[in-house]
Structure 1
């Protein structure tokens, strides 16, 4: 009878219903505390142990953008959009970094947190959310620093739309989460997938609209790139900074559909093979 009563809270006495609600609130608060503790642990272990850990996280995209600017500014008079090389490559590279780092962090959740997952208070979703939230916040800070410096210290002749920037960030983060969930089981079960994924992501800078603008490619190559969701992510980011840019190929729903499909499949595999992964 008590179990049946819990299924139908409207049949409970007022004092029992209040107690049930308090238990649920305590459970939610406990889950938030767990996620916050995992985020602090991730910060200290990932960035706190190496000298200048946080500085290198920021220097990586800065050096990448600087290298691209140095190479292409020597051979071309102007970028494919606008007149500022740094802004053009930053809008493509930073959104791609948001995706790649999110997918990498989420995919390694089981391997990274295997010992912690043996504690009853720590669930797999807590660990995934902690790594996801910390990485997204870190990449957003990097975006603010890099784009802010470019807009303040160089001549860009550009304004920005915050809603489109946030939309691009959400698209990249959702896609990284979905693919990261799908990779999590594959990498935990078969580590060779880590190498496979590393090889597959190397040409992304060439086929995701970071260096080569989608509109500059002839058919059928530009049509093939439409299937790459990162092309839509970088297109949305560039819409935020270039008022004359149209990005007629952009399909936000397609990106979220890919992210949702991969995420659902990833959660299904995690639920099916979680016990096997923990026994390794």
Structure 2
């Protein structure tokens, strides 16, 4: 085995980067085989599940209302709310449990907790981007939506959802592993989150004073930004990108500091 201390510093850094990239790719391949390779249909379910949810919401609410709160297409309206919410929820869940999932591999010195986080982040982000592309394209092809796509705004919304998931997920990778009760509490907290994140009703439709309270939910800004990317008349004045970025950065930095300090102890739990 090569002694890294005997390698010149200029050559050691590229070797570390190569080892990191190789570890991340190996973890991605393992994640693909375990998450999507064991069930019949594999990746097809990643598209079927949100599509079925959007169809069910559209069917239920179209029976009682003539038009959705924004636009004229129920499937497109709920897709613009559900897909960014799903981007956050799925990526966060994968990152938050990465230490428990890869505990045996993290015992090797060449595999770090950063590798495990990045592998799950990259794989699930790419998967959900493809799912979003398929579902949005299907809505545009199958239904009259009367939407005007603003691609930079849509990309911003996806980026915010992914970054928020990375930040909160990294922090919870520590808290979930260190305190089992936190994971149970979080699962309870996320059940009503679908209702208070603007997926069903936009923030502007919520009466005061509850509207001001819900503003502090960063997912409200993510979902609102996605809708602003599809509906040119959508009132997006309440959206604060710096607020979401600030929360994401704070959680990510705190999570990295805690994991760097205690990751060896967490592997012993």
Please, what TM-score do these two structures have when normalized by structure 2?
0.95
- Uncovered stretches (5+) of structure 2, i.e. residues with no partner: none
- 1:61-76 aligned at under 5 Å gives the runs 61-76=50-65
- 1:87-106 aligned at under 5 Å gives the runs 87-106=76-95
1:116 to 94, 105, 111: 105
User: Are 2:114 and 1:144 aligned?
Assistant: no
Residues 115-136 of structure 1 show CA distances to partners (whole Å, capped at 9, x for unaligned) of 0001111111001100011111
Q: Distance in 2 between matches of 1:154 and 1:248?
A: 28
Q: CA deviation at 1:157?
A: 1.2
**What do you get for the CA RMSD once the two structures are aligned?**
1.4
- 1:25-64 aligned at under 5 Å gives the runs 25-64=14-53
Q: Distance in 2 between matches of 1:239 and 1:154?
A: 19
Aligned to 1:176: 165
- 1:1-280 aligned at under 5 Å gives the runs 20-280=9-269
Change (3 A) 1:271 1:22: closer
Q: Which has the larger radius of gyration?
A: 1
- Name the SS for the 1:207 alignment partner: coil
Q: Distance in 1 between matches of 2:114 and 2:120?
A: 10
Residues 3-30 of structure 1 show CA distances to partners (whole Å, capped at 9, x for unaligned) of xxx9xxxxxxxxxx9x533332222122
Q: CA deviation at 1:36?
A: 1.0
Q: Distance in 2 between matches of 1:163 and 1:70?
A: 30
Q: Distance in 1 between matches of 2:158 and 2:195?
A: 20
Change (3 A) 1:115 1:99: same
Which ranges of 4 or more aligned residues in structure 1 deviate by more than 4 Å?
A: none
Q: CA deviation at 1:159?
A: 2.3
